[in-house]
Structure 1
Amino acid sequence: MISLQNQIILITGASSGIGTACAKVFAGAGAKLILAARRWERLQQLADALTKEFGTDIHLIQLDVRDRNAVESAISNLPAAWSNIDILINNAGLSRSLDKLHEGDFQDWEEMIDTNIKGLLYLTRYVVPGMVSRGRGHVVNLGSIAGHQAYPGGNVYCGTKAAVKLITEGLKQDLLGTSIRVTSVDPGMVETEFSQVRFHGDTERADKVYQGVTPLTPDDVADVVFFCVTRSPHVNINEVILMPVDQASATQVYRRS
């Protein structure tokens, strides 16, 4: 098992959900954290809490991963003490609406594609060269069961997560011969702000997604990410699919009345 003590871990989408849960579990393991997200106040609150509880060294970046220039600037301008990133957690991602494809909203499509695919690519492109030059590193991409199985209304979101799956596989092949590890962690139903974002803040509709179900928690997913990055250096966990017991596939969910 690899120690994360003083390793530098960059987490995107760190201000909520799985990103926040990853930050907590890594802070508890003694890692140094670069936390990136759009919501600055939420980042600051998280950093204050982690510093108070664990004494964690933290560097914050207000960042929209869709903005390539901003990503380039954020990585190239990291202070020297923070520039040697050991682990990249590409967690930033979202879904918008459940419209049929032929009735879809173009803005929703672009937001999902720009965040889920292009944002992940930008971070990978600017961080991984440093890993290659140092001869060490690990990239963890947060995928989804939606990248393996389509579901009604999921069209473009499922397409973006299928892209994450194949980009992860391609990156693993491109890095063959290096010691850099590449992992995709693909959850099913996780109760986060995901559904509220999907339904543009409609809390009532979002709550119905998890009604009668015991979904995964962000901590459950963070626990799997932690397992993947702490294996022996010669071990690569290529892909993990995890779902709640109440879920059997992207479309099959058992709900208690």
Structure 2
Amino acid sequence: MSLANSIGSFAQGFANGATAKKDRAERAAVMAQNDRLIDMMGQQMQRGGAQGGFGAMPPAGGLGYGGAAPANDGAPPATGSAGASAGDFKPGQTIDLWSLMDKHEGAGDYDTLFGHSQRDGQFKGTRISNMTIGQAIDFANPRGAYGQWVAGKNGGTVATPMGRHQIVGSTLKRAAEQMGLDPSTPFNRDTQDAVARHLAANRLRGASSPEAARAAIRSEWVGFRKVPDAQLDQAISGFREQYMGGGVGARPPVS
């Protein structure tokens, strides 16, 4: 390998590492936020004030993602039982990854922003699902109004979660490049779901055990840390059967 190629490879590896570090920092902020919400919801439920588990609204001024936000225009979440706690699943009931995601990430709302600020907060009326991918990436610029507002609410740590699957801006940019999606592609329901499937498949590809698969999916969506292993195993298995053509270590079919 020539010196120029060696230097190029090193630079690319360094850039990839920096991007991964940035993603981890953003997801750490989301993790801390989810933990605060879950603790707050648990206190509410003990006082008898919360209805519907993780689907209940936090107190006024509270932060968190798992509110009772309906999907766009009041339509129900695409995968059903959002709004119940993980414990509400009955023995033998089918548990899919997206239902769990709705409980522990974006509450089934394709417009969800940090602290539900798209509803009545700093970014009231913002409709991420009406943006293009390019516009959503620009909106999530860490130096932009959204990223800086989140940093102010989150101890100085920037996080830019967006949509039903709480995808941060840097992750969306990288996924769009990998999927060959033009910046002009609408960041609507179909696109958000497709990106989430891509991210999940990438994480699960090559995971050689249930433990590895759980760790992989939890590294992408920290809300799944609160999901019991057995439930997450079932959801991962269903995802692999539906989208990856098999069991542990399966790869997505070639398109």
Same fold (TM over 0.5): no
Structure richer in helix, relative to its length: 2
Task: Please identify which structure carries the higher strand content.
Answer: 1
> Larger radius of gyration, structure 1 or 2?
2
